[in-house]
Amino acid sequence: AAEEKTPRCAGCMQRAKKTFKTKKRVSLKIASAQWSDKFSLDTVGSHGNISCVNNTKGHKLQVGVKITLVSSGLTKIVTFTPFYLLINASTIHLSVREHNMNEWIHLSPDQCKSFYPKSVEKDIKVVAKVKESLNETVPFFVNKNHTTLLRLNDKFGGINAECQVTESTTITILKTYKPGMATGLLVNCLSKTTLTVKQLGPSSEVHVLEPNTSELYTWTDPTVKRQVTWTCGNKKNIRSTLDRDKIEGFVMQNGVKFYFVSFLDGMQRVIMFTEDVTTATLALEAGELEQADQEINIKICEVGFSLVNNEKLMEVVYMGITSSGVIWEQKRASFKIIKAREAENVEKFYQKFKKDDDVTKSTTSLAKLDNNVEVDFKNMQICKPYTANIRRSFEDGIWIQIRKSPHSMQFHAKINRLQIKVEYIATILSPMPLPKSVTLSNVPVPFIELCLITRIHRHSSLQQIKYFKVLIQEINIKIDQSFINGILTMFATDVNTLRERELTQFKEDVALTTRDLKEEAGISMHSMRVSFFDYFHISPIKINFSFSLQGGKLSDRVHSSVMGIFLQSVGVVLTDVHDVVFKLGYFEKNYSFCDNSKLTKEFIIHYTGQAVKQMYVLVLGLDVLGNPFGLLRGLTEGIEDLFYEPYQ
């Protein structure tokens, strides 16, 4: 993707010498830099970055690579973009330069430009300014995810920098100051006490707030630890982060109690110090402690859906959501599920009791279990070594609960068991049974569980997600060629419609090759409604995958010709695949603003990107750009594993 002006660097490609068994790989060269490492052009749907080392200065020229397949399946589009992009999303001219360098990059309003750092350091820092001004911001990172307001001592107030890092590109979006961008609004509501606040570190600027005053605050140095220390009376150097809701009480030496309160007022984080507990409580609008005034419970025992081909009068696929197996619960304060090992023991003796009762009509209902527990099945009680009521039940296939209070809404949903079947295969999709060692020592877990808690602000339209978590257990998928053919046949279109669609798709494919840098970056300049996410987590997805080429008529395979053409172009012969395990790392966001469409796009790319790369590596045996196995690299903290077993 080219800029409006001539690109700074020209590139050429070199193909590896090809023999009969050689994988098709290429290298990239930019101007006089060294050739990059070889990479494959066959891994459609994957993306990453490559580096060419500058021979004279030793720094790297990084390029993002994205590989897509056109609709016909005959051609691949390989898009090369600068790895670092700078976007001016303001209405004034801005300038950016690398820290300790002299060359400025000038950005017009709504302009996107490439940036090739000359530093050999691991952490890339830049400074920004308004083009005609002499005031510069402090240095900030452009290779780490962050959103920071950078102070300017002029009429503009500051420049907001938002850095988004992915495997194929790093985008830094610059905006001029608007209300809500500051790290925090410090408010000293104390009647007689002066407050001092400074960023953690020996050389940070000290902010002094007199009683009943307020001040906007942002980080003095955004490249060091983002934490402040504050002093109020005899409470000295108390550490705090400024990114989350919090209320904490302190007592000064004179016995006066005051409260530290952190809350959101619209888009602005407010840090308030007050002696009034009522003010502190009302400001936080804590809905977690409120009693729900509305509650809705929905339970569906079992439900099934069938997809039928009307022309062939046959069922293509059936999906069923069913209840759990038998569970046993005991009640002391409230009913709780008994762990599987004990429940299995109780069920065994319960079945024996029912059988004996039906045959002999025995008057005794007491049973001594293997673990010296005595149970009365007639009265459904545990008699020894403690007393508790018990009951035999099951979990519904679908369970939904909605609770609402004046300042909070809670949504909790479970799908206990989901299966997708076809007539000629036992099961296409189903939950993978947990290891027996795990099953026996834990209570049964649903296949999918979702929990959402939102905070309702009476004086703001901001949506605040306090807690969002989705947990998906390991999935077992088994499909064959006949199932794929059946689905494709059902949704196949007639020849005339197909030809019209081919022309439209061809024009769309051609349009992909003419996009400019801003379009390729996929950044919208329009303001979107954002939400604040305290905790957003989607669990790792573990898939046990099997595929068979058996089944399906030759005539049916026409509908999957695009996939066949693609595999032939790659030079890969697809064979049966058995029990290949895909491990897709979790997705998480904490204490950050994000619009819903961007968040949805991010987690879809997060999971599909891993799945595509792992398919190439595990199934087709191809090399891919980047890391396909859920590790987050390049952080100062080292390597973080993004995968854990879902049942944990």
Q: Which amino acid is at 497?
A: T
Q: What is the pLDDT of residue 347?
A: 86
Q: For the chain, percent helix, then strand, then coil, each to nearest 5?
A: 15, 45, 40
List the CATH code of the domain at 84-176: 2.60.270
Cα within 13 Å of Cα(637), Cβ side: 6
Residue type, position 371, single letter: N
Rg (the chain; Cα; Å):
31
Residue 176: φ, ψ to 5°: -80, 165
Domain boundaries, the chain: 11-82, 84-176, 184-284, 330-389, 399-491+530-641
Prior bond to 385 cis, omega within 30?
yes
**DSSP assignment, residue 557?**
G
What is the rounded CA–CA span in Å between residue 369 and residue 350? 10
- For the chain, 648 residues long, the average pLDDT of each consecutive 10-residue run is 43 55 77 88 86 84 90 84 94 95 94 91 93 94 95 93 92 94 95 93 86 95 94 92 93 90 94 93 76 92 91 86 89 84 85 78 72 84 87 92 93 94 78 76 84 89 93 92 79 70 85 86 74 95 88 50 59 77 93 90 90 87 75 46 76
Give the separation between CA 421 and CA 347, rounded to whole angstroms: 29
Q: How far apart are CA 303 and CA 453, in angstroms?
A: 27
* Residue/partner pairs of 227-234 with CB below 8 Å, 24 or more apart: 227/199, 227/200, 228/197, 228/198, 228/199, 228/200, 229/197, 229/198, 229/199, 229/200, 230/195, 230/196, 230/197, 230/198, 230/260, 231/195, 231/196, 232/190, 232/193, 232/195, 232/196, 232/258, 232/273, 233/193
* Residues 572, 566: Cα–Cα separation, whole Å: 9
> Could you tell me where the DSSP H helices lie in 189-309?
277-284
Which pLDDT belongs to residue 5? 41
Short-list 599, 485, 511, 482, CA closest to 164: 599
For residues 373 and 343, what is the distance between their CA atoms, to the nearest angstrom?
A: 12
Asked if 300 and 324 touch (Cβ cutoff 8 Å), the reply is no
CB 195 within 8 A of CB 232: yes
CA distances from 554 to 485, 547, 551, 561, 576 (A): 10, 18, 9, 11, 17
Q: Is residue 149 a contact partner of residue 128, using CB atoms and an 8 Å limit?
A: no
Check residue 46 and give its pLDDT. Answer: 85
- Find the farthest-apart pair of alpha carbons in the chain and give their distance in angstroms, rounded: 99
Side-by-side strand order, sheet with 235-240:
206-209, 195-199, 228-232, 235-240
CA distance 539 to 648: 10
Backbone phi and psi for residue 367, each to the nearest 5 degrees, phi listed first: -140, 135
Determine contact, residues 138/222, Cβ cutoff 8 Å: yes
Tell me the CA distances in angstroms from 483 to 13, 334, 409, 573, one per residue in order.
41, 47, 42, 20
8 A C-beta contact, residue 532 and residue 264:
yes
Asked if residues 367 and 353 have their Cβ atoms less than 8 Å apart, the reply is yes
**So what's the pLDDT on residue 128?**
97
What's the CA gap between 626 and 647, in Å, rounded? 28
Per-residue model confidence (pLDDT) at position 593: 93
The pLDDT value given to residue 3: 42
Contacts 24+ apart (CB under 8 A), 458-462: 458/285, 458/406, 458/407, 459/265, 460/264, 460/265, 460/266, 462/264, 462/266, 462/267, 462/530, 462/531, 462/532
Evaluate whether 342 touches 371 at the Cβ level (below 8 Å): yes
Task: Give the residue from 87, 90, 125, 129 showing the smallest Cα distance to 3.
Answer: 87
Q: Distance between CA atoms of 104 and 123, rounded to whole angstroms?
A: 19
- Tokens encoding 11: 């590139």
Residue whose entry in the numeric block shows the structure tokens 């002696």: 275
pLDDT score for 104? 95
Global pTM?
Answer: 0.86
Whether the Cβ atoms of residue 375 and residue 345 lie closer than 8 Å to each other? no
Q: Which two tokens stand for residue 86?
A: 């700078």
- pLDDT value at position 239? 94
